[in-house]
Amino acid sequence: TGAISSLQRQMEIQESELRRMRSEKEMLQKQLRERELQLQDVSDKFCSLTEEQRKEEVVVTMEEENRKLHQVVRDQESQLAEQSKLISELQETISQLRAEVVSTRLHLLEQQKAQKEIQSQADALQHTALQTRVALENMSNRFERYRNKIIQATFSVEGVKDPPGELTDTEVLEAVQKIINERTEFLHMLKIRGIK
């Protein structure tokens, strides 16, 4: 957005300069027309003089004036050509600036689109993470309940001492394994004696 604003400011400056140049060009063209009219007037006056009035001094003066006017016309034509060249350059610069503004806006739109896509993906990942966290908490709660039931079933068997405190998973497994081993031995002993 800053780049677009900067480009637009540059473009406004160039367009203002272009308007000034065009105004100066119009003024120079007006002055040129006025000088040409003056030149024409001088020529008309010179032509309208009678043979008697065409003295050397008048002729010299008019030729000098004529030369000066021609020089002014040449100078103004030269300035006009320079102004036209500057106007062309300014128009080209303005076209380039407009193209840069369009390009920058397109780039900005692409960035905004990419940002929205990334935000959408981030939202989806956050939602998935939340679901995973909830599922993990549910599984942890179920596991804890199941573990407590195993502990309760294991240590409620007759002859088994109550645990002294918090049990590790290994201690719970060892207690269960001990009961299984004892029952297996008991069943084996009953089979040996032939008791169903």
pLDDT digits (tens, 9 = 90+) for 18-52: 888 888 888 888 888 888 888 888 777 776 665 55
**Residue 10, class by beta-carbon neighbours within 10 Å (0-12 exposed, 13-18 middle, 19+ buried)?**
middle
Out of 27-31, 52-56, 64-68, 107-111, which region has the weakest mean confidence (pLDDT)?
A: 52-56
**To which residue do tokens 């840069």 refer?**
100
Q: For residues 161 and 171, give the distance between their C-alpha atoms in angstroms, rounded to a whole number.
A: 13
Q: For residues 8 and 64, give the distance between their C-alpha atoms in angstroms, rounded to a whole number.
A: 51
Identify the pLDDT of residue 144. Answer: 87
Q: For residues 80 and 115, give the distance between their C-alpha atoms in angstroms, rounded to a whole number.
A: 52
The pair of structure tokens assigned to 31 is 């002055």
**To which residue do tokens 């407590």 refer?**
148
* pLDDT tens sequence across 149-187: 887 777 776 766 677 777 788 888 888 888 889 889 988
Q: For residues 106 and 191, give the distance between their C-alpha atoms in angstroms, rounded to a whole number.
A: 87
pTM: 0.42
**Mean pLDDT computed over every residue of the chain:** 83
C-alpha angle with apex 156: 150 to 196, nearest 5 degrees? 95
Give one DSSP letter per residue of the chain, joined into a string.
-HHHHHHHHHHHHHHHHHHHHHHHHHHHHHHHHHHHHHHHHHHHHHHHS-TTT--HHHHHHHHHHHHHHHHHHHHHHHHHHHHHHHHHHHHHHHHHHHHHHHHHHHHHHHHHHHHHHHHHHHHHHHHHHHHHHHHHHHHHHHHHHHHHHHHHHHHTSTTPPPPSSPPPHHHHHHHHHHHHHHHHHHHHHHHHHT--
